[in-house]
Amino acid sequence: MTYLSSTSKSRFDTMIAKFLAQMSQANSYEPTFFDTALVAAIYKRDSFDVGIILNSMAGLNAVLSIATYGQETPKVRIEKAKAFLHESLKKWDPRGDAHLPRSLELVLRLYNILKGAGVEVDFPRREELEEMIENQSLTTEPRGHSLVKISTENEGYRVKTHSHSSHDCGIHCSPSETALALLGTKGDSSDLETYLSTTYQATNGRGIPSVYPTSLVEVSTVLETLSNSTTEHITRSNGSTQSLSPENEYVYRVSENCLGASAHLLLAKRFGDKNEAGELERVLLDELNKEGNDLLGKMDESCRILKTLMQSPLYKQSRDAITSLFSGICRSWWMGTHINTMSPSYLYAYMLFTSCFCQILDSEELGNSSFNPEDVQIRGPVAITQMAVRILTNQNSNGSWGEGMGGCLEETSLALLSLAKMISIPFLGLLYLDIKYAIERGLEVLSFAIAAKQPLQASKANWIFASTSAYRSNRLCEAFVLAAINDCKKTTSNIFERPDITDRRSQVALKLATFFHGLPNLREEPAFKLKGAAIESSFYVQKLKGMRLDIFPPTDSKEKDKYFNYIPVMWCIHNAMRKVWAPPVFIWDISVVSLFIFLVDEYMEGTVEKFSLKELAELRQGIESMFAIEGDWAAKMQTSWTSNGGNNTQAFIPLTRISSTPDGTPCSPSVTVALDVFSRWATYQMKYPSLQSASALDLHALHLESKNYLLYHLHQATDNQRLASQSGFNTSTPFRNPSMGYAPWLHTIGGGHIAATYALTWVSACLGNKVRGPGRDCFTGVKQKCMVWNANSHNAKELRMFNDYGSIPRDAEERNLNSTNFPEFFGSSDSQWLVPNPGGYDPEFSMLQRKAALLEAAQYERKRANMELSELFQEMRAEGHNGAKLADWFGLYFAGGNQFSDMYLFKDVTNSTR
């Protein structure tokens, strides 16, 4: 491991001093436009972002402009640029960059300019982009900026408003946009030319900065980053704040904007007096009241404002805003509705949220009593755990983070800043060594960078400020690198102690991770993914246990609900393995339906199977009547989002209360109790939050399959009674009186009893309205629906056979019908199973043969299911973003189910009911 040498440490200190002294200088220096041919060579990848397209278009436009002045223009450059743009625009989805309105406008403007110059480039989604811009009422006029001058008079922080014009700010404070505007400007353009001249002079003639004047958000971010991690280097007593905020430095901020107000307040709290900070805190609170709804889901902006407010809040309203912001961030993460609008990297938001979460856990001043307990105890920890696993997963082989051969210095620094906080969080104790190792590897990358003679250079365009195209900041890069090195030093020393992992939650998670890491298909996976999945799963289990008795009565099973710990972890594991990064609500929805399946199965086997045949018949009639839909079912299924003010509450079909048989005879007491239990279950699930706004067809399918699921159980219960009454039955004798042959039984009763069809309709109803929109079916078109049902049919049979493979001993003890009891497993001749064999046979050898036949058939069904799913997912991905998201999430859903199947080869986790 390479640590900072004494020479490097000296340079580390020197760089901070130099860094602070350079605050008055202009921003990073970049050419106004990239050479398009160079861009084409560098960015050979499947996805193209708007920044690359903009640079390519602008570069081509610049080349064409040169030609108009009579200079020679190599035709090969123009052809390369056109070819590159053709491929870029063909693959680009504007909806993925909807949070960059100015950039989208620029793409359309440049496209029209190129078209006017006679350059035809294929742009398949041009009309879609035009519609997006029109719907959002975007404008290409310069937005209101105000220039402020940072002053440190009398050791206090002051900002002075300065009148501005295009002379001061150009177009959006962007030299690139200003230069582009000049190309199409007719008449007087002296202000724009003066602005460009000023930006050039600000760099001492070394180029054109990508933003000028400096953004207030950037200045505050740099100062906060350094002061948080290197406070010994920033002391006002020695006058160093003069270099931080020189008298003659001007910055710009967007007026009437939460983010700008937050940056303004941050500087005041760091370097101003309390009165001024109080005034600015009120300004930010006013802006939050105005923009509160607009901030929902904007994770990095919300985290940035939250972190600012949490620095010694002065008012009760600020504490209320902190609680509200934290709750909104946790909810948007849980629901998967968050986006990043400041930074193109998810790591910036992760760093901010991790810092805020640790402060909430530790702060006595803030306390955590005012926070929603579920946010602090479940949603927040789930978010932190998912962030930790994703950061560890995305570390490059050389220890860095980010794209490119050497990674990205900013992303590496932000990842390390996050991990340096996460390593001390108690519930992440199992990941301590994994985090420590990742930090050491990442620290080595930064150590090499800081030890080099060249100044640190920003390695990513569009960094932090996604609203500005092709923007890079060397100052931010240096600040993040220095802060990350400083924060990570303590994790590589012997002073830092490993968190305690002897608590029950950690021990259960460790046992789960150890068990799953031993399974054949998970043996090669990094251990941190299994440990992280087990930690995340523990929080879902906590919620599951809280709803355990909401519907079904408790049981006296000796295992004490051991299966709870095995439910969410299956999907948590594959969420990390497949890098789907599905939101927690999806894992939770699957966990809830899995819990329902276990509870129904448990109640059926523990209670209903004790019914007489007459009572079973009564119960069957009652279930049929209870779920019956009379008249226009579609009208009854209509969701109220179409007529109730958009509050998205579902008007589900009410169940019919049954107290007597069709001939009027009162139901027996035991049947009445069972019907009440099933009615509570069906009503509870149809009021489940994720089903609100589901489409009528998806809800109807769930309603029908809920009924069928119960009826399959009753059929199994009847078969179990017939099997138990068979004279001389044991595990080495066949079931001589089956209701049907094995193949038709497996296709209907066996697959239905395992709840694969019921679970599919549940997940489809939950996901359809989330991804497609309210009232939209999950699967589009007849072909897709046929494909998914065919695939699920194979999957259901596979799940049943794997389940039976692992539960042979328990089924034999409880006299439950198992696949291996069917005559087909004893041979294909009557003499092999129908006619008693006087000589007998070896029961052990027979069971081995039957298990081998069962496993072979199960693997065939899995193969067929995978083939069907592969074709289905290909069809869905062809739809675009939403189809691809659903394909990934359903791939995760089926992978978790297969993991459950694989587990039954080694462990039976179902409760014993007898």
Task: Write out pLDDT tens, residues 786-824.
Answer: 999 999 999 999 999 999 999 998 888 888 899 999 988
Residues 172 and 102: beta-carbon distance below 8 Å:
yes
Residue 204 pLDDT exceeds 60:
no
pLDDT over 70 at 163, yes or no = no
Nearest CA among 345, 410, 414, 353 for reference residue 379: 353
Lowest model confidence (mean pLDDT) among 36-45, 151-160, 395-404, 862-871: 36-45
Spatial distance between the Cα atoms of 668 and 676, rounded to a whole number of angstroms: 13
Q: Is the predicted pLDDT of residue 256 greater than 60, yes or no?
A: no
> How does residue 536 score in pLDDT terms, banded at 50, 70 and 90?
very high
Q: Which of 150-164, 401-415, 480-494, 747-761 has the lowest mean pLDDT?
A: 150-164
Question: Between 11 and 226, where is the model more confident?
Answer: 226
As a whole number, the mean pLDDT across the chain is 78
- More confident call, 168 vs 738: 738
* pLDDT for 720 beyond 80: yes
User: Which residues lie below 8 Å from residue 235, measured CB to CB, with a gap of 6+?
Assistant: none
pLDDT at residue 374 is higher than 90: yes
CA dist 596 and 321 (Å) reads 38
Domain ranges of the chain: 29-135, 520-644+677-903
pLDDT in tens, 607-627: 998 999 899 999 999 999 888
What does the pLDDT read at residue 647?
Answer: 47
CA dihedral 492, 498, 499, 501 (to 10 degrees): 140
Count the residues in the chain.
914
Tell me the pairing of strands 250-254 and 214-215.
Answer: parallel
How far is 46 from 879, CA to CA, in rounded Å?
A: 17
Q: Region 667-696: what's the mean pLDDT?
A: 90
More confidently predicted of 539 and 736: 539
Q: Which residues pair with 145 in a beta bridge?
A: 254
Residue 210's pLDDT is 59
Q: Is the pLDDT of residue 137 over 50?
A: no
Looking at domain 520-644+677-903, its CATH architecture is Orthogonal Bundle (1.10)
pLDDT value at position 506? 93
Please report, for residues 25, 173, 465, the alpha-carbon distance to residue 211 in angstroms, rounded to integers and kept in the order given: 12, 6, 10
Most confidently predicted of 299-303, 467-471, 488-492: 299-303
- The confidence score (pLDDT) of residue 832 equals 63
Residue 278: partners with Cβ closer than 8 Å, 6 or more residues away: 314, 315
Least confident of 97-101, 355-359, 639-643: 639-643
Among 13-27, 359-373, 775-789, the least confident range = 13-27
Helix, strand, coil in percent for the chain, rounding step 5 = 65, 5, 30
- Whether 57 has a pLDDT exceeding 50, the answer reads yes
> Worst-scoring range by mean pLDDT, 2-11, 210-219, 769-778?
2-11
pLDDT of 901 over the 80 cut: yes
Q: Summarize the confidence of residues 41-67 as an average pLDDT.
A: 60
More confident residue, 222 or 448: 448
For the ranges 281-290, 318-327, 705-714, which has the lowest average pLDDT? 281-290
Q: What is the mean pLDDT of residues 195-213?
A: 65
Task: Give the pLDDT band of residue 629 (cuts 50, 70, 90).
Answer: confident
Higher pLDDT, 24 or 873: 873
Can you read off the two tokens belonging to residue 404? 């490119």
Distance (Å, whole) CA 283 – CA 626? 58
Is 509's pLDDT higher than 60? yes
Q: Which of 95-109, 166-180, 540-554, 568-582 has the lowest mean pLDDT?
A: 166-180
- The pLDDT value recorded for residue 253 is 45
Q: Mean pLDDT throughout 351-376? A: 83
Q: Above 50 in pLDDT, residue 94?
A: yes
pLDDT band at 202 (very low <50, low <70, confident <90, very high): low
Residue 298, classed as helix, strand or coil, is: strand
The mean pLDDT value for 88-95 works out to 84
Return the higher-pLDDT residue of 13 and 753.
753
pLDDT bin (cut points 50, 70, 90) of residue 293 is: confident
Output 433 or 102, whichever has higher pLDDT.
Answer: 433
Residue type, 742: Y
